[in-house]
């Protein structure tokens, strides 16, 4: 069902990355700049991420011997240094996720570039190196994003949903590896219920949510795909949900043939396979359209 699967390391059947977007309370400040600081309940729900969930998640990764990727808005890096230090101590990747989770599509090209550069500076200060990857806040990859990422030397993007396996984004400026995921692997639809964030869903039981994520995994395992979970510490890191995640990780490891890796390692592997000719990725030429699509009769 996948015509050109990636040759994963050591003959693995699929690659798996549990990426965690540590948005913390950036979300409520962005949504309600005038009165966010009085929204104590929402702030407490979001601070659960860095304060309670991150230590729990890192302990799980340590126990299972996993290195993974955390996408963190730069504002959160500045405000939650302990969580960041703990991620780095565990050998995990910290990748770019905007400055304060701003929507790139709301800004001009220059504004988008400004926030991208500010985020890079903060990550460099915190980690000692430039970020290799980016995920657009709320998947808001704009028609300038690929060019700006290429200009700033990013190795990969993880915002788009165009395939089951890595592929290439090509623009007039160069190219970039896309490590895709999709809403079926995101924890907002099954779990998030917040009037302050204007996102009200019927909260699913953890076993039901995991059932969906696991079905995606089984298909990727069968067909050589890339399984990228887009989860959030304040959402999936809550007790019953994380307990269910631990069961899922245990199942994946017991099944075997699964390459757990941070996205930077997956991107580097894909790049090597492209260079040695063992992988021919699909290419998306961007932008998809140069002019608005006319629907006038
Ligand atoms: Zn986010």
- Give strand ranges (E) for the chain: 14-21, 69-72, 93-96, 133-134, 156-157, 167-171, 174-178, 193-194, 199-200, 226-231, 258-260, 283-285
Report whether pLDDT(297) > 90.
no
Report whether pLDDT(28) > 90.
yes
3-state secondary structure of 8: coil
Report whether pLDDT(280) > 80.
yes
Q: Span 76-96, mean pLDDT?
A: 98
Report whether pLDDT(283) > 80.
yes
Band (pLDDT 50/70/90 cuts) for residue 9 is very high
Question: What are the backbone angles phi and psi of residue 293, rounded to the nearest 5°?
Answer: -85, 120
Q: How far apart are CA 19 and CA 260, in angstroms?
A: 11
Report whether pLDDT(270) > 80.
yes
Cα of 282 vs centre of ligand 1, distance in Å, is: 27
Cα of 232 vs centre of ligand 1, distance in Å, is: 8
Q: Span 41-55, mean pLDDT?
A: 98
Band (pLDDT 50/70/90 cuts) for residue 186 is very high
Radius of gyration of the chain (CA): 19
Looking at the whole model, is its pTM more than 0.85?
Answer: yes
Cα of 71 vs centre of ligand 1, distance in Å, is: 8
| pLDDT value at residue 295 | 86
Q: Span 256-268, mean pLDDT?
A: 98
Mean predicted lDDT score pLDDT of the chain: 97
Report whether pLDDT(296) > 90.
no
Cα of 135 vs centre of ligand 1, distance in Å, is: 8
Question: Which of the 8 DSSP states describes residue 292?
Answer: P
Report whether pLDDT(25) > 80.
yes
Cα of 138 vs centre of ligand 1, distance in Å, is: 6
Q: Span 277-292, mean pLDDT?
A: 95
Q: 274 exposed, middle or buried (CB, 10 Å; 0-12, 13-18, 19+)?
A: middle
Rounded to 5 degrees, what angle do the CA atoms 176, 141, 105 make? 140
Cα of 101 vs centre of ligand 1, distance in Å, is: 6
Q: Where is pLDDT greater, at 209 or 297? A: 209
- Is residue 133 within 8 A of residue 141, CB to CB? The reply is no
pLDDT tens-digit profile of 192-239?
Answer: 999 999 999 899 999 999 999 999 999 999 999 999 999 999 999 999
Q: How far apart are CA 284 and CA 291, in angstroms?
A: 17
| pLDDT value at residue 12 | 98
Rounded to 5 degrees, what angle do the CA atoms 60, 54, 249 make? 30
pLDDT tens-digit profile of 129-160?
Answer: 999 999 999 999 999 999 999 999 999 999 99
Q: Span 91-101, mean pLDDT?
A: 98
Structure tokens at 262: 């941070």
For residue 175, the cross-strand partners are 170
Question: Which distant-in-sequence residues (6+ apart) come within 8 Å of 166 by Cβ?
Answer: 6, 177, 178, 179, 180, 226, 266, 267, 270, 281
């Amino acid at each position: 069902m996948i015509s050109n699967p990636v040759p994963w390391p050591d003959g693995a059947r699929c690659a798996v990355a549990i990426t965690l977007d540590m948005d913390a309370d950036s979300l409520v400040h962005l949504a309600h700049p005038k009165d966010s600081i009085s929204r104590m309940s929402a702030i407490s729900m979001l601070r659960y991420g860095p304060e309670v969930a991150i230590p729990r998640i890192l302990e799980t990764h340590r126990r299972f011997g996993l290195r993974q990727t955390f996408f963190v808005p730069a504002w959160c890096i500045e405000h939650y240094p302990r969580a960041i230090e703990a991620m780095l101590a565990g050998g995990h990747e910290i990748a770019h996720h905007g400055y304060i989770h701003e929507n790139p599509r709301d800004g001009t090209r220059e504004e988008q570039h400004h926030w991208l550069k500010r985020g890079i500076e903060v990550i460099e200060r915190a980690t000692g190196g430039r970020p290799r990857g980016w995920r657009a806040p709320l998947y808001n990859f704009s028609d300038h994003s690929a060019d700006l990422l290429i200009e700033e030397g990013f190795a990969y993007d993880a915002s788009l949903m165009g395939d089951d396996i890595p592929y290439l984004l090509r623009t007039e400026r160069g190219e970039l590896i896309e490590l895709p995921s999709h809403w079926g692997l995101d924890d907002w639809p099954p779990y998030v219920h917040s009037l302050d964030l204007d996102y009200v869903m019927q909260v699913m039981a953890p076993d039901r949510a995991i059932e969906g994520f696991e079905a995606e995994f089984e298909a990727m395992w069968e067909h050589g795909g890339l399984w990228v979970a887009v989860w959030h510490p304040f959402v999936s890191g809550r007790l019953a949900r994380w307990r269910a995640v631990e069961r899922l990780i245990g199942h994946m490891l017991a099944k075997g043939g699964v390459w757990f890796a941070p996205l930077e390692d997956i991107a580097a592997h894909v790049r090597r396979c492209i260079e040695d000719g063992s992988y021919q990725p699909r290419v998306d030429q961007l932008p998809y359209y140069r002019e608005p699509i006319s629907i006038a009769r």
